[in-house]
Structure 1
Amino acid sequence: MSNSWFIIANSTSGNRNFSKQWKEIEQLLKNKNINYSFAFTQFSKHEVELVDTAIQQGFRNIISVGGDGTLHHVVNGIMLQRYVKTSDITIAVIPIGTGNDWIKTYNIPEKLENVIEIITKKKIITQDIGVLETENKTITYFNNVAGLGYDGYIVNKLESLKRFGAIAYLLSGLAGLLLYKKSIFKIIIDDKIIETNCLMTLFGICNFSGGGMQFTKDVNPSDGLLDITIAKNLNIFDLIFNIRKLYSGSIVHHKKIETYKTKTITVLPIDTKPFIQADGELIGSGKVTVKIIEKAINFVVN
C-alpha cells in the first residue's frame, strides 16, 4: 500500500456543506487516479483510533480532511502508535476547517482542485513535532503552535463563536482581552529562569495561529528548536493598536514581547492555573513542560 492513501475526514469541520465538498473531493481524486480508502470520524478524537487501524492495515500515507483540530488528532495518532517509525508516515491535508492555520506556513491553498494537485506531486518536508506534558502527566503532541494563558482562554471561548468563521478568532481574542486576567509565570528555558507577569507563553513550530495571526519569530519547522514567545504585560490597547502587526508577524518586536529558541521549556504559573492549548485544542491547565521531537513526520507541502 506504499502508493495508496488512507483518508480521515471530519464531516463537522468548517461551516460549509460537507457532503457537497466530499463529492467534489472524490471526483478530483478519481480524475487524478489517486488510490485511496477512507473513513469518517464518528466522535471526538476518533482520528487517533482510525490512524492506528490504518497503519496496522499497511497504510503509510494519510490525508487529513478537516481543520487544524482534525490534523492535530491525526498527528497524535501517528505519534502514539508503536507499529512503525513516525518518520515512515506521510500526511497530506485537504483543508475544510475554520482557521486552517497550519497550511498557511506552507502556502497550501484552500481550493480543492489546487490542493489535490499538490498531493499528486507529493513534495515532502520532514517536520518537527512538539510534545507537551501537563502537571497530571497527560502527554499531547502538536504540529503547529501551542500555548499557555490568554490563548488557551480564547480557545476555550472560541467554541461558541465558530459559527462566525475565521473572524471568530478575532472576536474571541478581543473578548478575552476584556475578561482574561494576567498571572505570574515562572518560565525555565535551558539554564535561564524568567519570572514575570504574563499574558501568554507560546510554543511554536510553524508560523500561524488564531486564524492567521503570527506570534512566532524566524520559524523553521525542521530546525529541531521550539520558537518561544513570551507576551508579558500586553493589554487591550497594545493589541488593538497593533492589529496589523498581529497578522504581519512584526508584533514580536514589541517591547513587551520576548522570543527565544530552545529544545525544552517549562512554564509554572504561580498564582492561577491557566488553560493550555495545542493546535487550537484545549488539553489541560496549570504547569506544562514542552519538548521538541526532531524531524518526526513527513508532510506534503506546496
Structure 2
Amino acid sequence: MKNESIKRRWYTIFNPSSGGGTKQNKIDRILSSLKQHQISYEFIVTQYTHHEEQLVQSAIDQGYLNFICIGGDGTIHHMINGIMKQKNVASDQITLAVIPIGTGNDWVKNYRIPKDPEKAIRLIHNNKIIYQDIGKISFLDDHKEVYFNNAAGIGFDAFVVKNISKYKKWGSLAYIIAALVSLKTYTPGKITYVSDTDKKTSRMFLIALGICKFSGAGMQLTDYKNHKKGYLDITFVKPISLSKVITQIFKLYNGKIATVEEAVCFHSKKFKADNNTSCYIQADGELVGRGNAQFNLIYNAVQFIIP
C-alpha cells in the first residue's frame, strides 16, 4: 500500500543554484501551487553538484516513478543520468516534469514549456506526456557513460562550456560572451568519425549532436527542421575563420546552420569519434570529458510532461 502511494507522488528536486540562485519566496509559491493543484509531492533540495543523480536513484529504489525538476538544463541533465543509470525500473516507466528556473532553459524552449511556474505546474496537473529519445555517450578509453536529453558537442562548443563559468553573471548572454572570447584561443582539432553511412578523417571546428532544437542559450546548431525521431541530428563544421563566425553568427540562431558553407548536416542513429584525444565533449551544457567516444540514441527512453 505504501509503495502504491509513492508511485502516485512526485519526487521534486530543487537546485538552489539554478538561475544564479533562487529566492525562497519563489520556491514557497511553487510548493503552494503544487498543493493547490492537489499534486502530492516529496520536496528535496540538492546539496552539491551532481547530487540530483544520487537523489533520483535513491528515490527509484524507494518506488518513485514521477519526478519534478525545479531548475535548469544542468539539473535536468543530472536527473536524466540518475534515471538512465539505475537498474531497478525500465526508464520508459518514469515521468519527468520541469518547472524551469535556469538561465539557458534550452530543453524547455523546444517544447514551449512556460517559464511561469504556475503555468508549468498546470501542465503537471494536466498530465500530458510524450516519450522522448535519450542520447548516450560511451567514452572508449575509461569506459565512462554519460546520458543527454537535449544536445551534445565535440570541439568548440565544449571548449566554450569549459570556459563559461567566469561569465555566469551575464545570465543567458554567458554562452555567447564565452564563445566570442574562446574564439581567440581555440585551435580546431583533427578527428576520425564513423556514422551510419560515412567514415571520415578531417580537421573540424565543432561537431554538434542534437535530440532537440536549441543549445547554448538559444542557438540552433543542428538542422532540426529535418528532424527524424530515432536519429541524432548532426552538424559537422570544418575549420572556419573568426571573421566568418562573426558575420555568420545570426545563422546559429535562426535555424539556417545548414546554409553555412563549412557546415555539413546529416542524421545518424549512432556516431563514433576516434582519434579525438585532445577535443573536449559537452552534454546538455555540462563538460563531461574528452577523448574517443561512441554516441548512441535510446529510442523513447523517458516520459516527459509537455503542453
Normalising TM by the smaller chain, what interval?
Answer: over 0.9
Equivalent residue number for residue 201 of structure 1: 207
**Residue among 232, 237, 240 paired with 1:231:** 237
User: For residue 7 of structure 2, what is the amino acid of its counterpart?
Assistant: S
Give yes or no for the alignment of 1:283 onto 2:288.
Answer: yes
Are positions 1:109 and 2:129 aligned together? Answer: no
| AA of the residue aligned to 1:21 | K
Q: Does 1:142 align with 2:148?
A: yes
Contact 2:69 2:75 in 1 (8 A): yes
* 2:26 corresponds to 1:25: no
Q: Could you tell me which of 117, 120, 123 is aligned with 2:125?
A: 120
Give runs of aligned pairs for residues 1-302 of structure 1, distance below 5 A.
Answer: 1-134=6-139, 135-218=141-224, 223-269=229-275, 273-302=278-307
Question: How far, CA to CA, are the matches of 1:75 and 1:98 in structure 2?
Answer: 19
Structure 1's 207 and 250: CA in aligned 2 closer, same or farther, altered over 3 A?
same
TM-score between the two structures when normalised by the length of structure 2:
0.94
TM superposition score normalised by structure 1 = 0.96
- Please state how far the C-alpha of 1:197 moved relative to its aligned partner: 1.8
Per-residue deviation, residues 198-234 of structure 1 (Å, max 9, x unmatched): 1111111011000000011136887111111101122
Deviations 1:36-82 (A, max 9, x none): 01111111111111111111222111001111111001000000111
Q: Distance in 2 between matches of 1:220 and 1:168?
A: 29
> Following TM superposition, by how much is the alpha carbon of 1:178 offset from its aligned partner in structure 2, in angstroms?
1.4
Work out whether residues 72 and 105 of structure 2, in 8 Å CA contact, stay in contact via their aligned partners in 1.
yes
- 1:19 positional shift: 1.2
AA aligned to 2:259 is H
How far off is 1:27 after superposition?
1.5
Cα distance in 1 for residues equivalent to 2:220 and 2:191: 22
In structure 2, relative to structure 1, the CA distance for the partners of 1:233 and 1:205 (3 Å cut) is same
**2:3 corresponds to which residue?**
none
Structure 1 residue 20 displacement after superposition: 2.2
Deviates more, 1:282-291 or 1:14-23: 14-23
User: Which stretches in structure 2 are left out of the alignment for 5+ residues?
Assistant: 1-5
| Cα offset, 1:16, TM superposition | 4.6
Contact preservation (8 Å) 1:183, 1:269: no
Residue type of the partner of 2:282? Q
Can you list the C-alpha shifts for 1:75-119, whole angstroms capped at 9, x where unaligned? 000001111110000000111112111001101111111111111
Q: 2: CA distance between counterparts of 1:140 and 1:252? A: 28
The question of whether the paired residues in 2 share the 8 Å contact of 1:267 and 1:287 is answered with yes
Moved more, 182-191 or 99-108: 182-191
Cα distance in structure 1, aligned partners of 2:284 and 2:225:
16
SS of the residue 1:166 aligns to: helix
Residue deviations 1:167-189, cap 9 Å, x none?
00110111111111111221111
Q: Distance in 1 between matches of 2:208 and 2:168?
A: 22
Which residues of structure 1 form unaligned runs of 5+? Answer: none
Number of aligned pairs? 301
Aligned residue for 2:253, secondary structure, equals helix
Alpha-carbon contact 1:190-1:265 (below 8 Å) kept: yes
